[in-house]
Amino acid sequence: MRGTTALPGTPCTTPKEGQPPVHRLEVRLPDDVPFAVGTFDGIGPMSRADFPHRHTFYEIVHVTHGTGTHVVDLARWELRPPHIGVILPGQVHHWENARDLDGSVVLFTPEFLLDHPGDEELLRRIGERPWLRLDPAAHTRTARLIAELTEEYGHGDSGFATVLRSLLHVLLVRTARLGGPGEAAAPTGRHAAVTDAFVRLVTRTGTDGGAGGVGLRSVRECAERLGVSPGYLTEAVRAALGRTPGSLLREARTHEAQRLLARTDLSVRQVAARTGFDDPAYFCRFFRRETGMTPGHFRKHHGEHHENPHDKHHDCSAPSIEDAPGDT
């Protein structure tokens, strides 16, 4: 768990220039479980942070009262409680104009999911629709489960970590059900294991200050990292998700580029480098093909920062568009 947890008061990892800060999960004791639950007040002021930042851990928020907006990556969610929301490691989020915010926060690292490894797949699926409004019955069930988590965590009796993992598993399963009963069951077997490892690899977005999985340039590189052939990786991902690994890799790189353009002051050249492109012009063609606009135009309409003066050298105005890395 090195790098994912820290004792209270430990300074946050210093991000690279232009990157949002990266926060680790503070634990009460050196050998304590990498988990915490409590109210917004109990967790502390960082639970209401109004500046963009990333985590190395998962965060579940159950909002019962308040007004304002919760911003996750490029999506803005107006508060109309009750809500349940999930922030995945590496995502950029913050609270905007939040007033009278109340509810509960559940924090845990990927390592905490030891007893239920399938929970990472559940979290990934929930993360595709990360902000849900709860009907009265779902709100009551969610509040009851989080109250049990809070009580178990507070007492710390023998075997409490196992109980916490079990209660968290129930919370995740029930939250995943909120998307409707028509969702396909999660795949199983070796194809599923390879697919899950691939998804985790390409969506690892540099919580250590680097490029993460999005820095990988091709499906072949991903396959080598996972110890399988490109052909087998393609077969596994298609069988499990109905998509090609190339499309998922392009999506992950595009999403990370959008995050950096909207939430940092990095130049287009720097964003290109962080997402695995040596040539900024090549990155511009890739980005325009995937999003329909240049990086500069995207930043102008979606970013929170002033235009970077270095961007004028990479305005992506050339009409040529060619295939980019990650297609095969």
User: What torsion, rounded to 10 degrees, do the Cα atoms 71, 74, 78, 80 define?
Assistant: -80
| pLDDT at 2 (0 to 100) | 30
| C-alpha–C-alpha distance, residues 144 and 175, integer Å | 13
| C-alpha–C-alpha distance, residues 151 and 285, integer Å | 53
Q: Pick the residue with more confidence: 230 or 193?
A: 230
The rounded mean pLDDT for the chain is 79
3-state secondary structure of 113: helix
Give yes or no for a contact between 295 and 257, defined as CB atoms under 8 angstroms apart: yes
Q: Pick the residue with more confidence: 88 or 117?
A: 88
Residue 287, Cα to own-chain centre: how many angstroms?
Answer: 20
| pLDDT at 156 (0 to 100) | 84
Ranking 131-135, 208-212, 307-311 by mean pLDDT, the lowest is 208-212
| C-alpha–C-alpha distance, residues 101 and 97, integer Å | 10
Ranking 5-19, 272-286, 297-311 by mean pLDDT, the lowest is 5-19
CA 16, 12, 90, 133 torsion-angle sign: negative
Alpha helices in 133-244 (DSSP H): 136-155, 160-177, 190-202, 219-226, 230-241
| C-alpha–C-alpha distance, residues 81 and 63, integer Å | 6
Report which DSSP code applies to 159: T
Six-digit token pair at 117?
């490894």
Q: Is the pLDDT score of 60 beyond 90?
A: yes
Q: Is the pLDDT score of 144 beyond 50?
A: yes
| pLDDT at 292 (0 to 100) | 86
| C-alpha–C-alpha distance, residues 63 and 40, integer Å | 9
Query: What is the pTM (predicted TM-score) of this model?
Result: 0.61
Six-digit token pair at 105?
């926060």
